[in-house]
Structure 1
Amino acid sequence: MTMAQREITSECLLCKDNGELNPDAVGWSRRPFHVCNLHKHFPRKKKWNYWCVTGDRFLLSATIAHLDYLSLGAIYFLEYDTGRFAEQAAVKFFPRLPRMAETVDGTEHFSSRAANLVFECIESGVAMSLAFKRFDGKPFEASIEIKRPPGTENLNVVVPWNKRLFQFTSKHQCLPATGTLVWGNEKLVFAPGASFACLDFGRGVWPYNTAWNWAAFSGYSGADVIGINMGAKWTDGAGANENGILLNGRLHKIHEDIVFEYDGNDFMRPWRMRTQSSQTVRLEFAPFYEKAGALNLLVISAKTHQMFGRFSGILRVDGKPIAVDNVLGWAEEHQARW
């Protein structure tokens, strides 16, 4: 289905005074104009900043989140060739802090006895500092600088399930990154020119039962810098989607749905993504690692299959074909009661 939401071009509040969705906030934009003034709706409010930095040999993800009844600071690491993987999270129940920012350009901070995560907004972008007392049995620290090149656009969408349930999502691809990880006695470096950061910024009021697909990548097509964000399931029937191509810093919004084709019994088999009614997206995704997770706390549960792999195929921007050849990225299926 094709859905052409209106483009928002100036600052707006996400919520009305009573906590319901502001109708004037519904739409998409090339800049994060929304002020996410979430209030009321306990315990349905969800706020998160998810970063994933991909290098030529490994990736590192860091998340700060607040779900009303808990907050967390989490990281995970994956080395592509060896499959070395580690994950760690610190959780606080019914926390007062962190009070997460209402806008994308706010600084985020999570601190506990075991971990300290800071996403500091600076003039050039974001300075990320991470410290865990124990990460796979060893102390871990990371210092990463993420650039926001002047004029670079991003994908911002309000998904309106109804006036009481809604989500603002801001997806940022192709952000140049550099930095160093110190893990025990080991030092790992995100090399300049070969590393990109992706941000998933989310603020909203969610239904209890949720399912989604998400896929994204950042990389090169010849001399061009190309990225994409694709989503499905969670936006069905909402009159909005989170699909868009970023080419050399310019966003090209995809107004039609993208179909995810994969084997739910074997997530390591190739996936395919395609636009429903055009040739805009024709991609195949070959996973090389599955990050599977399951949580069951009676009233709260989640099941995730996040796949890391390589994308190949063709994207079309203004009718021009853009080749995608073995570009690193991820695709996932997520189901939750939260």
Structure 2
Amino acid sequence: MQHRMGVGPLLDARGRLVERGYATSEVRTYDRSAIKAGALRIKEWDYYCILTPRFGLALTVADNGYLGFLGTSWLDLEQKTATNHGAIIPWSMGKMKLPASADSGDISQRKGDLELSFRHEAGGRRLTVNDPAFANGKGLHGELWLDQPDMDRMVVATPFPNVPKAFYYNQKINCMPARGKITLGEETYQFSPESAFAVLDWGRGVWTYNNTWYWGSASGLVKGRPFGFNIGYGFGDTSAASENMLFVDGKAHKLDHVTFHMPEGAPDSALWKFTSNDNRFEMDFAPIINRHQTTDLGILKTAQDQVFGLFSGRVILDDGSQMTVKDLPGFAEEVRNRW
């Protein structure tokens, strides 16, 4: 079953989801003050990943209750390397004031010398990074503009079994063409909208302590047409709707359930395979880089394997037509949390 949500508030007076399901726009209104769970259980983040066939940038601003996090990552797909840097903000618990909407409200955060800003402007978004300590002092600096034409996105409201006040409200905006320059040390990298595409992962919710999720995403051009997808599962009660969706020419095509067939052993050791129960998504994934990162603070621990590489396969759209995908840059991940 794939239930499409209507318009209205996200939570009722008891702090529970009014409606569970999916949408292709921000139909439900998030209000942190309507949450009835404790502040330590609230998790909020904005994560951008901008990829080209040669390199990429990932930027994170997160308020996870116990701590906030600012993160920068540089991905070199030719050299097969990933470099991460970040700063922790203890006991953030809403003090970072992340916006209640993915469509309005700016983010400007600084911890030490690390500065990140995500700003809305007419027609798109402007991302700015200033991280002098990145890569042992090389520094990472620059600004990217993301075009956001009128297009569909993936929106899902997911409850957690047996925890009535827990939920996850998530939006993924794929296929945003990117332009601008990022300087790493003495080298400057040019992002152009013909080859650079961004995805936004916007998450707000009340999470359970121990969970694991699987997520995959890709955006680009397939035979000159804007194409992307969002796939994932692993947490919550997805009986009302999955988060699996294709995007072609700005229009969403809803999928049912997708399964990740990961290689045994190291996640970057062999091809991944993906299949859907409706036979509309069959994809191979050739790993290039594993952006592995573990934060272990005892009672709190996050371990992620975010593997970047190339997707190849076939998809079937809502009208029954088929598209063939070859070497589309993207990523797939497994993230394990105790938070």
Q: Find the residue that maps to 2:2 and give its secondary structure.
A: coil
In 1, Cα distance between equivalents of 2:46 and 2:239: 23
Among residues 15, 18, 36, which one is paired with 2:30 in the alignment?
36
Q: Is the 8 A contact 2:43 2:65 kept in 1?
A: yes
Residue 264 of structure 1 deviates from its aligned partner by 4.0
In 1, Cα distance between equivalents of 2:292 and 2:193: 30
Aligned to 1:98: 96
Residue 240 of structure 1 deviates from its aligned partner by 2.6
Cα deviations by residue, 1:235-273 (Å, 9 ceiling, x for unpaired)? 45553311000011001111x211111124131211111
Of 162-171 and 204-213, deviating more is 162-171
TM-score of the pair, normalised by structure 1: 0.93
Aligned to 1:282: 282
**1:113-152, aligned counterparts within 5 Å?**
113-136=112-135, 137-149=137-149, 151-152=150-151
Aligned to 1:172: 173
Q: Is the 8 A contact 2:158 2:237 kept in 1?
A: no
Aligned to 1:68: 65
Q: Find the residue that maps to 2:164 and give its secondary structure.
A: coil
Residue 111 of structure 1 deviates from its aligned partner by 1.0
* Equivalent residue letter for 2:77: Y
Q: Is the 8 A contact 1:160 1:238 kept in 2?
A: no
Q: Is the 8 A contact 2:46 2:62 kept in 1?
A: yes
Q: Find the residue that maps to 2:301 and give its secondary structure.
A: strand
Q: Is the 8 A contact 1:90 1:114 kept in 2?
A: no
In 2, Cα distance between equivalents of 1:185 and 1:179: 16
* Equivalent residue letter for 1:33: V
Among residues 3, 10, 26, which one is paired with 1:14 in the alignment?
10
Residue 99 of structure 1 deviates from its aligned partner by 0.4
In 1, Cα distance between equivalents of 2:239 and 2:119: 33
Aligned to 2:110: 111
Count of residue pairs brought into register by the alignment? 329
In 1, Cα distance between equivalents of 2:227 and 2:77: 21
In 2, Cα distance between equivalents of 1:90 and 1:97: 15
**Does 2:316 match 1:316?**
yes
Q: Is the 8 A contact 1:213 1:334 kept in 2?
A: yes
Among residues 54, 58, 82, which one is paired with 2:55 in the alignment?
58
Q: Is the 8 A contact 1:72 1:110 kept in 2?
A: no
In 2, Cα distance between equivalents of 1:305 and 1:233: 15
In 2, Cα distance between equivalents of 1:324 and 1:281: 11
Aligned to 2:3: 5
Residue 296 of structure 1 deviates from its aligned partner by 2.1
Residue 190 of structure 1 deviates from its aligned partner by 0.5
Residue 40 of structure 1 deviates from its aligned partner by 4.0
In 2, Cα distance between equivalents of 1:126 and 1:294: 30
In 1, Cα distance between equivalents of 2:139 and 2:266: 35
In 2, Cα distance between equivalents of 1:248 and 1:139: 37
* Equivalent residue letter for 2:131: F
Cα deviations by residue, 1:153-195 (Å, 9 ceiling, x for unpaired)? 1010101125311100101110111011122322111123111
Residue 16 of structure 1 deviates from its aligned partner by 2.5
TM-score of the pair, normalised by structure 2: 0.93
Any unmatched runs of 5+ in structure 1? none
Provide closer, same or farther for how the CA distance between residues 139 and 237 of structure 1 changes in structure 2, counting only shifts above 3 A.
Answer: closer
Q: Find the residue that maps to 1:23 and give its secondary structure.
A: coil
In 1, Cα distance between equivalents of 2:27 and 2:299: 35
Aligned to 1:208: 209
Q: Is the 8 A contact 1:66 1:98 kept in 2?
A: yes
Q: Find the residue that maps to 1:43 and give its secondary structure.
A: helix
Cα deviations by residue, 1:116-146 (Å, 9 ceiling, x for unpaired)? 1000011111111111121112232110000
Q: Find the residue that maps to 1:81 and give its secondary structure.
A: coil
Q: Is the 8 A contact 1:49 1:199 kept in 2?
A: yes
